């Protein structure tokens, strides 16, 4: 919706101002270069809207995260992951009939092509699971030719269902391969989270009992990480998709971006920090180090690129962490450190002034570690849930009539034109 025009530059050229349903207005500068011969310079794209989207809204100043208009806290407490997946993909929460149909469509795709399973043998046993996921997900395009035509709406839907359904299977297989245990086939009578837990921690020799508290924690973790607007990995998926790449290649690109420690690896860094602190009585020492600009130590899991308030996902995850540790009888000083560190940070003027509130990574690492996942699997779990947001964003982009191939500009600061000098004449 265009609300007004604004003049930019000495020539007085006017540019439309668009207003979304909520959030700040944006200036449409698509004709800026044609009118002025100039580009904008925005490293990290912190002031640039790259697309129009109806999926996720974040108000970082107020600590608000909405999926299709629904507060993340309500969805995490009351919904299932597959309901949220339906919401992100289709725009609304499913009714009872739609929920049954969508669940059936996902569960019928949980198995993978048997020949695809042999790919794992080509990796070293000590290969990082994210390296395996990048390769395996990209390789899916070689097996599912009936869902790679990006211009066919039906094939896009099938690809979406396959990606959501098969990610837990592929992730569990990556873990099993790393520890030398046999793969477990999916059990479609279980929930999405329960099935993943069984494939990850179960063995063929005996039945696997799913703890409802752990299952609930897994569901909430998946919901909280399902989408987060135009972050680095989501933008990567959209940029790859803008070239016309198949959806499996785009999701593989998103996994590669998520692997970075500044993105999906943040919860591992937060857990390592808590382990380094070790005991609550050592917190003042590390707080002092965090305030010292000359000390390289940084408090991980505090502050966020977007949130300048309490991360709403962290509120939910704090409760999840307590439930899991209580249920499993874990008396872990790391969680005591996390709780006390949170309270200090919430009341210390230094953290308040700098708006360094705990984010979701602060607690999610503790939860995943308590369930039994090694740190190498943390980002893999992130990829399972975020694949839903990625494929929803990819689908939205494919249906956008204004979608064009991504082509960011640059501020060139290299050499101007210079003439070639033969090798024999160079000093």
Q: Catalytic residue positions?
A: 304, 361
Distance, in Å, from the CA atom of 149 to the CA atom of 405, rounded to the nearest integer, reads: 17
* Angle (CA) 303 304 305, round 5°: 140
> Is 58 strand, coil or helix?
strand
Q: Which residues pair with 228 in a beta bridge?
A: none
Distance, in Å, from the CA atom of 352 to the CA atom of 354, rounded to the nearest integer, reads: 5
Distance, in Å, from the CA atom of 182 to the CA atom of 120, rounded to the nearest integer, reads: 12
Distance, in Å, from the CA atom of 376 to the CA atom of 415, rounded to the nearest integer, reads: 43
Mode of pairing for the β-strands spanning 56-59 and 64-67: antiparallel
Element (H, E) at 27: strand 26-27
Sheet containing strand 13-18, edge to edge, reads 2-8, 13-18, 26-27
Distance, in Å, from the CA atom of 385 to the CA atom of 186, rounded to the nearest integer, reads: 17
Q: How many other β-carbons are positioned within 10 Å of the β-carbon of residue 70? A: 16
Distance, in Å, from the CA atom of 232 to the CA atom of 384, rounded to the nearest integer, reads: 16
Distance, in Å, from the CA atom of 237 to the CA atom of 159, rounded to the nearest integer, reads: 14
Residue 399: exposure state from Cβ atoms within 10 A (0-12, 13-18, ≥19):
exposed
Distance, in Å, from the CA atom of 124 to the CA atom of 227, rounded to the nearest integer, reads: 31
User: With contact defined as beta carbons under 8 Å apart, do 76 and 224 qualify?
Assistant: yes
Element (H, E) at 16: strand 13-18
Question: For the chain, first and last CA: distance in Å?
Answer: 61
Distance, in Å, from the CA atom of 78 to the CA atom of 280, rounded to the nearest integer, reads: 33
> Is 23 strand, coil or helix?
coil
Q: Which residues pair with 7 in a beta bridge?
A: 14
Count of CA atoms in the C-beta half-sphere (13 A) of 53: 30
DSSP at 308: S
- C-alpha gyration radius of the chain: 24
């Amino acid at each position: 919706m265009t609300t007004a025009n604004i003049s930019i530059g000495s020539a007085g050229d006017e540019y439309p101002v668009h207003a979304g349903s909520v959030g700040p207005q944006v200036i449409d500068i698509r004709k800026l270069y044609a009118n002025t011969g100039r580009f904008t310079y925005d490293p990290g794209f912190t002031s640039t809207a790259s697309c129009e989207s109806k999926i996720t809204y974040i108000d970082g100043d107020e600590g608000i995260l909405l999926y299709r208009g629904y507060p993340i806290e309500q969805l995490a407490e009351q919904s299932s992951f597959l309901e949220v997946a339906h919401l992100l993909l289709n725009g609304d929460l499913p009714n009872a009939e739609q929920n049954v149909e969508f669940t059936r469509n996902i569960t019928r795709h949980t198995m993978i092509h048997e020949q695809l399973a042999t790919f794992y043998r080509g990796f070293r046993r000590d290969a990082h699971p994210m390296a395996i996921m990048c390769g395996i997900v990209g390789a899916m395009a070689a097996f599912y030719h009936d869902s790679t035509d990006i211009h066919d709406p039906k094939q896009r839907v099938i690809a979406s269902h396959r990606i959501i359904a098969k990610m837990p299977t592929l992730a569990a297989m990556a873990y099993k391969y790393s520890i030398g245990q046999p793969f477990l086939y999916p059990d479609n009578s279980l929930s999405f989270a329960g099935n993943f837990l069984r494939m990850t921690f179960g063995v063929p020799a005996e039945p696997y009992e799913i703890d409802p508290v752990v299952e609930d924690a897994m569901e909430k973790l998946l919901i909280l990480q399902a989408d987060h607007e135009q972050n680095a990995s989501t933008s990567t998926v959209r940029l790859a998709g803008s070239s016309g790449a198949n959806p499996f290649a785009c999701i593989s690109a998103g996994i590669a971006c998520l692997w970075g420690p500044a993105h999906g690896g943040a919860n591992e860094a937060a857990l390592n920090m808590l382990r380094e602190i070790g005991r609550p009585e050592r917190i003042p020492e590390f707080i002092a180090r965090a305030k010292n600009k000359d000390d390289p130590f940084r408090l991980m899991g505090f502050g966020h690129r977007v949130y300048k308030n309490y991360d709403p996902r962290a509120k939910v995850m704090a409760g999840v962490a307590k439930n899991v540790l209580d249920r499993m009888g874990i008396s872990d000083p790391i969680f005591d450190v996390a709780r006390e560190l949170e309270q200090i940070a919430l009341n210390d003027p230094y953290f308040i002034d700098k708006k360094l509130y705990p984010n979701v990574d602060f607690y999610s690492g503790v939860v995943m570690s308590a369930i039994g996942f090694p740190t190498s699997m943390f980002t893999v779990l992130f990829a399972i849930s975020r694949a839903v947001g990625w494929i929803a964003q990819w689908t939205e982009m494919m249906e956008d009539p204004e979608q064009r191939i991504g082509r960011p500009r640059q501020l060139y600061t290299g050499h101007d034109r210079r003439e070639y000098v033969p090798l024999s004449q160079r000093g």
